[in-house]
Structure 1
Amino acid sequence: MDLWREGHQIGSGMKVDEESWDVASHAKEALSLAQLQEQTLQLEQQAKVKEYEAAVEQLKNEQIRVQAEERRKTLSEETRQHQARAQYQDQLARQRYDDQLKQQQLVNEENLRKQEESVQKQEAMRRATVEREMELRHKSEILRVEAEARARAQAERENADIIREQIRLTAAEQRQTILESIRTAGALFGEGFRAFVTDWDKVTATVAGLTLLAVGVYSAKNATAVAGRFIEARLGKPSLVRETSRITVLEALRHPVQVSRRLLSRPQDALEGVVLSPSLEARVRDIAIATRNTKRNQSLYRNILMYGPPGTGKTLFAKKLALHSGMDYAIMTGGDVAPMGREGVTAMHKVFDWASTSRRGLLLFVDEADAFLRKRATEKISEDLRATLNAFLHRTGQHSSKFMLVLASNQPEQFDWAINDRIDEMVCFDLPQQEERERLVRLYFDKHVLKPATEGKQRLRLAQFDYGKKCSEIARLTEGMSGREIAQLAVAWQAMAYASEDGVLTEAMMDTRVQDTVQQHRQKMRWLQAEGPQGGQRLPS
């Protein structure tokens, strides 16, 4: 038992020693662990200090940003207040200036009114003075005239016998002088006539001289008439021709520069500025080419009839055809022939004589030809007009290499049959369709609106909108209108811009003008349909 105790104590002592060793080793580990924990705590403390310092620095930065933002807001508010104060002061200054101007204007008006009143008073005083002076002068003049009349009457009454005696003596002396002059002249004339009759040489010379004088006067008169007709045919323009491109001597002397440009100008395209349907364009281009080759080869020209509604480009194409072919053109109107009466035949011959003298060839365009080329069998045509028509038929019976005849009419069915026999080709100019109308709208819009607005030479500006889309829309709305009506519409746009305050043509202004033009066109068509066949117009198809 004791042995076991001793053994147990020894074992316990050894265990205690082992435990003490373990405790010592664990203490070291704990100490190192504590040191590590202390270092960790110090590091954490340092990290917290740094975080605190960073937080403090961030707080300072935030305070600085807030202060800067506050200063910015303060400066912005001060600036806004300063601007508001400046605007208010400017408004006050403007108001004071306006008040001063109004006050000055009122003062000026008051001064002007006072001056006008003063001038009116002075004018009234001057007028009254002048009237008074005139009245006094008139009274004094009347008194003077009455005094002179009384004195003259008194003198005449006192000298009546003397005056009658003087008149009697003057009349007797004048009568005696006239009688003596008659006697002397009779004696001289009788002696001269007796001497002239008795001398046969003088009689023969006198008769021969009188005969030669009469022959000279008659010859000079006829020669002057022939020379005048020659000069008129060669140089002058006949009275029936309204417009011509043929250059006369008088025009060359008046406008030498323009005449030189015309002589040096090149032939133009026959369809330049002319908008037609594709089929009609191809046909008239063939006519232009044939006419130009006819001019070059000096062959016989063909006569053409162009018919259709008014304003479809007949006259324009005739001018272009002449310029393209290198010819001169002359335009006459059928309505000018009938009023000439008996002079119509002579005037018609003068036109063709003048046309035959053209060296370049002449395109004679007769507009409204149905006005005098009507059927001769009808009773509506007068004898003078029938004679003029016969003269026209006589001069156009054969094709000519000097001139080309182009007729234009809205009623070709009224032509005399002999006129139809002289026509080589008939061309129908119908109203433009939508495609042609769009080309016409674009052409005249560019000519009358867009080009003047972009050049800046005129008081015309154009608002911003889709021009192409607007032209297409207008072409759709102007159905049934001729080229002339579309050109007039473009001119109306230009006039509306000139009439506006700022000179700007807007899309709304164009739409308003288009609506008015469409309504006017419909009204014209209603009038034309109301007239019917008696209206003298061909209804457009």
Structure 2
Amino acid sequence: SLPPPPTPPETSKDTKNKPGDKWSNFDPTGLERAAVAAKELDKSTNAKEALDLARMQESTKQIEFQGKVKEYEMNLEHLKMDQIKMQGEERRKTQSQDAKIKKEQAEYQDLLARRRYDDQLKQQSLMNEDNLRRQEQSVEKQEAMRRGGQKYPRNTYMLGINKSTLEHEMKLRRDNEMARAEAEAIARAKADRENKDIRREEIKLEAAEKRQTVLESIKTAGSVLGEGAKSFLNDWDKITTAAFGLTLVAAGVYTSKNTIGVVARYVEARLGKPSLVRDTSRFTVLEMFKHPIFFQPTLEERVRDIAIATRNTKKNKGVYRNILLHGPPGTGKTLFSKKLAMHSGMDFAIMTGGDVAPMGREGVTATHKMFDWANSSRRGLLLFVDEADAFLRKRATEKISEDLRATLNAFLYRTGDQSNKFMMVLASNQPEQLDWAINDRIDEIVEFSLPGADERERLVRLYFDKYVLEPAMNTKQRLKLGDFDFSSKCSEIAKKTEGMSGREISKLAVAWQACGYASMDGTLTEQMIDERVDDAVKQHSLK
């Protein structure tokens, strides 16, 4: 048994209120029971099994606790996922609400702009009427004064007196200047007559000195040249050196002349614009194209893929692909080629097939020069061949001449292999007339069809805004607009212009502007627009 715990010391009156020792409240009975249980467990035969059982119970409790912890973590993760879903839903609702608000704001701004434009038109009309009324009143007053025979007012009389006084003063001033100039001329002539002898002596002395100087210079030069020639002829080494030097100079002049010719021909072939190239962006600032292209969705997706592929080909220094664009005139083939070159960061050059036939035998040389010039581009060149069927048509036909056949063969020779220096874009209204070898060199064919209903409406609105609304908003121009609904009118025009190309719609908008300028007061009315649209539809049907 354990020894009894120490008895706490007796507390005196002075230490009654002080805190006791750390053993003062200790209860040893628990330790005694534990010691007894440990001794009994040691004496027992099942001590080891009891310890294993206790250890297993402890591990089971730990596993249960870990399971509860994992279950808590899983519940926490589910809560986080639910919170993320709720936040995403709230964000989508907020975005949709913002989009709705922005749409309402845009519609409201458009309404305000229309009202502001209507107010400007009304104010301009009132100002014009006011100015016209004032002019009419002024004309009536002048006509009344002329008919009534009224006398001039006093201020007019004074103005006439001041005018006559100024004329008299100007006349006196002019007479004084003439008299002074005449006196100066007479004095100068008198002084020249008095100094005539002195001037003559000065001229003689100057001439004698000049003559003496020239004679001495000639004498000195003769003596120097004579001595030099004498010493040169007496020295054989100097003669040999001079002859060798003259030979070298002659050879240098001859070599320089031929070298300059070769360099000039190289520069002309590589850097100068060939005769077959009509327009290029290699020596001019890149044009900012203001006319957009509106394609149908399928065509727009296809040309976008071509543009992306061409741009990535240039970045990675790959091999360019040749393209054939075919379709009716005015559908945007040339404009698409220019935008493709601009988007890809390449140079751009236009060649017209109709320019080749008149060149005759020079067509082969011009074709080689053009391709040499294209290969010299550092940025890569997009060669656009417009009206390709006029030049690259089938060789089996009898209509093609021998010179044109030779030029076509040269073109085929230079385009036999794909290049990483230039790409070729052909445009044709009749692709079935192209030679079979040209078709073999084409990697992709794109059809440019006429614009559909949606594309026509976008084109009509664009050109109506550009050629009608903008000039009408400008106070410096004469064009004004009548009172009608522009939006509904554009939709109506788009339905009437079915079958028209983008170029024809652009010309129709220009005709509206010209019609407004030609009117009496510069006002373009709805009736004028309808008349021009009906006329354009009839002309399109006739074409």
TM-score by length of structure 2 reads 0.54
CA contact (8 A) 1:272 1:320 kept: no
Q: Which residue identity is paired with 1:376? A: R
Q: In 1, distance between residues paired with 2:313 and 2:137?
A: 84
CA contact (8 A) 2:323 2:442 kept: yes
Q: 1:92 to 1:284 in 2, by over 3 A?
A: closer
Q: Please say if 1:245 is aligned against 2:281.
A: yes
Q: Which residue identity is paired with 2:293? A: V
Q: Please say if 1:230 is aligned against 2:280.
A: no
Q: In 1, distance between residues paired with 2:138 and 2:364?
A: 85
Q: Please say if 1:447 is aligned against 2:466.
A: yes
Q: Please say if 1:409 is aligned against 2:428.
A: yes
Q: 1:376 to 1:100 in 2, by over 3 A?
A: same
* Distance apart, 1:301 and its partner CA: 0.7
Q: In 1, distance between residues paired with 2:246 and 2:282?
A: 47
- Structure number, greater radius of gyration: 1
Q: Secondary structure at the match of 2:272?
A: coil
The residue that corresponds to 2:400 in the other structure is: 381
Q: In 2, distance between residues paired with 1:103 and 1:241?
A: 74
Identity rate, percent? 68
Task: Write out aligned runs for 1:412-491 (5 A).
Answer: 412-491=431-510
* Distance apart, 1:97 and its partner CA: 5.4
Q: In 2, distance between residues paired with 1:297 and 1:93?
A: 76
Q: In 2, distance between residues paired with 1:409 and 1:421?
A: 16
Q: Residue 373 of structure 2 is aligned with which of 351, 354, 358?
A: 354
Q: Which residue identity is paired with 1:296? A: K
Q: In 2, distance between residues paired with 1:424 and 1:236?
A: 29
Q: Secondary structure at the match of 1:423?
A: coil
CA contact (8 A) 2:392 2:408 kept: yes
Write out per-residue CA displacement over residues 239-266 of structure 1, whole angstroms, 9 at most, x where no aligned residue: 111111112xxx6xxxxxxx4xx49x9x
Q: Secondary structure at the match of 1:380?
A: coil
Pick the structure with more helix per residue: 1
Give the RMSD, CA atoms, in angstroms. Answer: 3.4
Q: Secondary structure at the match of 1:285?
A: helix
Q: In 1, distance between residues paired with 2:358 and 2:137?
A: 77
Q: Secondary structure at the match of 1:408?
A: strand
The residue that corresponds to 2:302 in the other structure is: 283
Task: Write out aligned runs for 1:195-206 (5 A).
Answer: none
* Distance apart, 1:101 and its partner CA: 4.1
The residue that corresponds to 2:341 in the other structure is: 322
CA contact (8 A) 2:270 2:369 kept: no
The residue that corresponds to 1:146 in the other structure is: none
Q: In 2, distance between residues paired with 1:521 and 1:102?
A: 59
Q: In 1, distance between residues paired with 2:408 and 2:326?
A: 20
Q: Which residue identity is paired with 1:238? A: P
Q: Residue 391 of structure 1 is aligned with which of 396, 399, 410?
A: 410
Q: Secondary structure at the match of 1:459?
A: coil
CA contact (8 A) 1:233 1:357 kept: no
* Distance apart, 1:505 and its partner CA: 1.7
Q: In 2, distance between residues paired with 1:317 and 1:441?
A: 19
Q: Which residue identity is paired with 1:515? A: D
* Distance apart, 1:420 and its partner CA: 0.1
Q: Please say if 1:370 is aligned against 2:406.
A: no
Q: Which residue identity is paired with 1:438? A: E
The residue that corresponds to 1:4 in the other structure is: none
* Distance apart, 1:396 and its partner CA: 0.8
Q: 1:453 to 1:224 in 2, by over 3 A?
A: same
TM-score by length of structure 1 reads 0.54
Q: In 2, distance between residues paired with 1:518 and 1:469?
A: 19
Q: In 2, distance between residues paired with 1:395 and 1:93?
A: 77
Q: Which residue identity is paired with 1:243? A: D
CA contact (8 A) 1:295 1:361 kept: yes
Q: 1:92 to 1:390 in 2, by over 3 A?
A: closer
Q: Secondary structure at the match of 1:491?
A: helix
Write out per-residue CA displacement over residues 472-498 of structure 1, whole angstroms, 9 at most, x where no aligned residue: 111111111111111111111112222
Q: Please say if 1:333 is aligned against 2:352.
A: yes
* Distance apart, 1:232 and its partner CA: 2.2
Q: Secondary structure at the match of 1:243?
A: strand
Write out per-residue CA displacement over residues 418-439 of structure 1, whole angstroms, 9 at most, x where no aligned residue: 1000000000011112221111
Q: In 2, distance between residues paired with 1:232 and 1:423?
A: 29
Q: Secondary structure at the match of 2:512?
A: helix
The residue that corresponds to 2:512 in the other structure is: 493
Write out per-residue CA displacement over residues 246-303 of structure 1, whole angstroms, 9 at most, x where no aligned residue: 12xxx6xxxxxxx4xx49x9xx9xx981011111111111111111111111111100
Q: In 2, distance between residues paired with 1:343 and 1:283?
A: 39
**Structure 2 stretches lacking a partner, 5+ long:** 1-135, 150-238
Q: Which residue identity is paired with 1:275? A: F
* Distance apart, 1:459 and its partner CA: 2.9
The residue that corresponds to 2:212 in the other structure is: none
* Distance apart, 1:355 and its partner CA: 1.1
Q: In 1, distance between residues paired with 2:506 and 2:391?
A: 29
Q: Residue 535 of structure 2 is aligned with which of 510, 516, 541?
A: 516
Task: Write out aligned runs for 1:261-300 (5 A).
Answer: 262=286, 273-300=292-319
Name whichever of 450-459 and 472-481 sits farther off: 450-459
Write out per-residue CA displacement over residues 363-407 of structure 1, whole angstroms, 9 at most, x where no aligned residue: 110000011101111111111111111111111111111111000
Q: Which residue identity is paired with 2:351? A: M
Q: Please say if 1:98 is aligned against 2:117.
A: no
* Distance apart, 1:452 and its partner CA: 2.6
Q: 1:476 to 1:96 in 2, by over 3 A?
A: closer
Give the count of matched residue pairs: 322
Q: 1:436 to 1:93 in 2, by over 3 A?
A: closer
Q: Which residue identity is paired with 2:143? A: D
Runs of at least 4 residues off by over 6 Å? 91-96, 208-212, 215-218
Q: Secondary structure at the match of 1:493?
A: helix
The residue that corresponds to 1:345 in the other structure is: 364
Q: In 2, distance between residues paired with 1:510 and 1:368?
A: 34
Q: 1:96 to 1:354 in 2, by over 3 A?
A: closer
The residue that corresponds to 2:44 in the other structure is: none
